[in-house]
Chains A and B, each alone.
Chain A
Amino acid sequence: MRKPFLRPLAAAALLPAALLTACGGQDGGNASAGAGGNDGNTIKVGILHSLSGTMAISEVTVKNSESLATDEINARGGLLGKRLQPIVEDGASDWPTFAQKAQKLIRKDRVATVFGGWTSASRKAMLPVFERNKALLWYPVQYEGLESSPYIFYTGATTNQQIVPGLDYLKEKDKKRIYLVGSDYVFPRTANKIIKAYAQANGMQILGEEYTPLGHTEYSTLVNKIGEAKPDAVFNTLNGDSNVAFFKQLRSAGFDAGRLPVMSVSVAEEEVKGIGVQNIAGHPVAWNYYQTTGGRANEAFVRAFQARHRGAVTSDPMEAGYNAVHLWAEAVRRAGTTDVEAVKKAAAGLSLDLPEGRVTIDGATQHVHKTARIGVVQPDGLIKEVWSSREPIRPDPYLRSYPWAAGLSS
């Protein structure tokens, strides 16, 4: 009686792994079609996001905005007289798959650059692939900092442009007893390390620190623990679908934004729709861009995006992905080639007017100067800015200019 049903179960557990190994391993390295995807009349670029699995909810939209940017460049006559040819791959919310697909894009497709990744786990998996191949990755999502690879450009915020301003805001609002909730992987754990150092230096108190696996959907115990700790605010670094379950269950347990504000750093306009606005209205979020951000560049971006995707919203990571493509293209234009080293050199100090405002690449860290903005979720599902740093903040991925952060980067 035992074997017939246990054996298939064991096979079920092994199946995903087997499938992945079967799909990987084909790194090719054959075709030698000119350096850096610069082949005949087209320049190939890779777009690598999770189009399936738990992260697809967020990453598909970034893929869409990056495709919009490559199409815009093609519509304006292309790059160096050639058309951009995006090659889209699915990272499938699985970190080894990201590494394999990155390898495939670089070696087999010979792309000039890759735009991709969302979770830090996926970036960490891809990093050695890009460094080994001396290829270029543009990573469009806010992350936990403490990294500066010579082969990655980071167009999302690092901690001093998002998390630190988020904490400044809470402190300003006199929310000093904080509960930390996050998904169980590298971004939330590192972010919380930084938050704890900040709290210690600023007289704030951390009442609890909880992690749940990615894709976790059962939050009643956690909500109960939060209820017992009675914090002034929650700092939320959950990622993906878990946010939906967390906010729904928090709301149905009677906690609304007035009673317990939850500051989120991975919930943008797109996620608000899935969470349900009645569950999250009034809660603060920390980003660098909102659909409602003013300026002509953003109006054009929102209009162009909604012309393709009716009823869609635009969010910070989408904008950062869109920016990445335009920043790379401008660097290629200035360098006159897609050669990685030349592009890197041309990108240093490069400055463009993009939807979030003026964006400048910091050559030393390969991050960008960004304005920090705290927003509050509105009943219509959009996010309204309630606080901003006014001017772009210099990226400081290792928090070297913050005395309280000494010792974090080691």
Chain B
Amino acid sequence: MTSLLNQLPIGLSIGAVLLLTALGLTFTFGQMGVVNMAHGEFLMAGAYTAYLLQDWAGAQAVPVALPVAFLVAGALGWVLERTAIRHFYGRPLDTLLLTWGVSLILQQAARDLFGAPNVQVVAPSWLTGRVGLSGATLPHARLFIMALAVACVVGIWAYLGRSRQGRRMRAVMQNRELAAVSGVATGRVDQLTFFIGSGLAGVAGVALTLVGPVGPSIGTYYIVDAFLVVVAGGLGQLRGAVIAALALGMLNSFAEFWTDASLAKVVVFAVVVAFLQVRPQGLFVLRSRALT
């Protein structure tokens, strides 16, 4: 029974990982409609940032790397947007192929720079313990990931809702032409959106070093689930992504508890497919007056 109760916090923590990896995509995919297959490699860039910072920051590399990885992955995303993606807006299939190619290039670059084997990121000692609450135990690393996910969501929510830039971003997302004629520099907004979306992937990558491998292929392990969250949550919907991530985390946790890991994956995919049959637009829909 206690182990069943244990699955609740586990579901939450799986949801937090899903949410963290998907948050950046709610920007680039959800708001700009760019199917960015290289999103996983921005996670990877974040993870390697933590690895490289160990030389300098030692055991505290993980917290130190969070802002640095945001800038590194953000810069990578910005370069990608400026040099390539902006020429392909409105051509989803071409963008898909393009970013897929970029993801392969980035993976190989990581392999050449850091070697094919996984590298080690040592977690700071204050993240290696665990807490017990009424029979269930939760590692500090998981709590940290949950807290980070919450912080990111609150940050994004405040940014989109309270800041001038954020409001411009929403305006472009809801109606690009109207925003443009109202004097919003949509090109600049696109750059910023892509920067933030990619930077969030970098932050997620740092957090993932606490629980998973750090190697050239890690992006491929998370990218599918990240897209799943964004699609199920509804494009461009922050609360949709939050609810979808938590729901999928819980579903995964309990499905795996009662069956096994392979079957749990099947269950999750089946549920999402069935759900999209009923609600093709995802949990939440963006209401706009655009005639699309």
Contacts and interface: CB of A to CB of B under 8 A. Distances in A.
The reply to whether chain A is a binding partner of chain B is yes
Interface of A: 1-2, 4-9, 11-12, 15, 51-54, 56-58, 60-61, 184, 210-213, 215-218, 220-222, 224-225, 227-228, 241, 244-245, 248-249, 251-254, 270-271, 273-278
B126 interface: no
A274 B3 contact: no
Given A57-B118, A213-B265, A217-B208, 17 more contacts: A4-B92, A6-B231, A15-B97, A52-B107, A60-B117, A211-B261, A213-B261, A215-B217, A216-B221, A220-B13, A221-B261, A224-B6, A241-B212, A252-B211, A253-B137, A254-B137, A274-B119
B281 A2 contact: yes
Contact of B140 (A218, A224, A252): A252
B281 A1 contact: yes
B163 interface: no
Contacts of B211: 217, 245, 248-249, 252
B218 interface: yes
Contacts of B17: 218
Given A4-B33, A56-B116, A228 B139 contact: no
Contacts of A6: 231, 276, 280
Contacts of A184: 261-262
A211 B262 contact: yes
B93 A244 contact: no
Contacts of A8: 35, 92-93, 95-96
Contacts of B10: 220-221, 224
Contact of B14 (A7, A51, A61, A220): A220
A55 to B, nearest CB: 9
Nearest to A243: B213
With most chain B CB atoms within 10 A of its CB, the pick from A57, A61, A216, A252 is A252
Contacts of B212: 217, 241, 244-245, 248
5 closest cross-chain pairs (CB), A and B: A274-B118, A244-B213, A252-B139, A228-B3, A212-B261
Contacts of B231: 5-6, 9
Contact of B116 (A7, A60, A254): A60
Contact of B262 (A53, A212, A253): A212
B116 A57 contact: yes
A225 B257 contact: yes
B261 A216 contact: yes
A245 B213 contact: yes
B227 interface: yes
Nearest to A57: B117
Interface string B201-227: 000000010111111111011100001
B188 to A, nearest CB: 24
19 contacts: A12-B227, A52-B216, A52-B217, A53-B217, A54-B220, A184-B262, A210-B261, A211-B260, A212-B260, A213-B261, A213-B262, A217-B218, A227-B3, A241-B215, A244-B213, A245-B212, A252-B139, A274-B214, A276-B120
A277 B123 CA distance: 12
B7 interface: yes
A220 B142 CA distance: 10
B184 interface: no
A58 B37 CA distance: 25
Contacts of B121: 276
B217 A54 contact: yes
Contacts of B210: 248, 252
A398 B116 CA distance: 34
Q: Which of A15, A60, A244 has the most CB of B within 10 A?
A: A244
Interface in B116-152: 116-123, 128, 130, 137, 139-142
B141 A252 contact: yes
Interface in B250-286: 252-253, 256-257, 260-262, 264-265, 276, 280-281, 285
Contacts of B170: none
Contact of A222 (B13, B142, B261): B261
Given A8-B35, A9-B231, A210-B260, A225 B216 contact: no
B165 interface: no
Nearest to A244: B213
A234 to B, nearest CB: 15
A56 B140 CA distance: 31
Interface in B8-57: 10, 13-14, 17, 29, 33, 35, 37
A270 B139 CA distance: 27
Contacts of B257: 221, 224-225
A225 B215 CA distance: 27
A52 B35 contact: no
A57 B214 CA distance: 11
Interface in B221-251: 221-222, 227, 231, 235
B269 to A, nearest CB: 11
A72 B210 CA distance: 41
B182 interface: no
A3 B108 CA distance: 32
B61 to A, nearest CB: 13
Given A220-B14, A220-B142, A56 B216 contact: yes
Interface in B155-182: none
A312 B97 CA distance: 36
A289 to B, nearest CB: 18
Contacts of B265: 213
Nearest to A226: B3
A245 B211 CA distance: 6
Contact of A12 (B35, B128, B208): B35
B261 to A, nearest CB: 4
A252 B97 CA distance: 39
A224 B7 contact: yes
Residue among B33, B35, B118, B222 with the most chain A CB within 10 A?
B118
B117 A273 contact: yes
B41 to A, nearest CB: 13
B111 A56 contact: yes
Contacts of A11: 93, 96
A285 B179 CA distance: 62
- Max chain A C-beta neighbours (<10 A), residue from B17, B137, B252, B276: B137
A57 B221 CA distance: 14
Interface string B192-208: 00000000000000001
A248 B265 CA distance: 21
Nearest to A209: B260
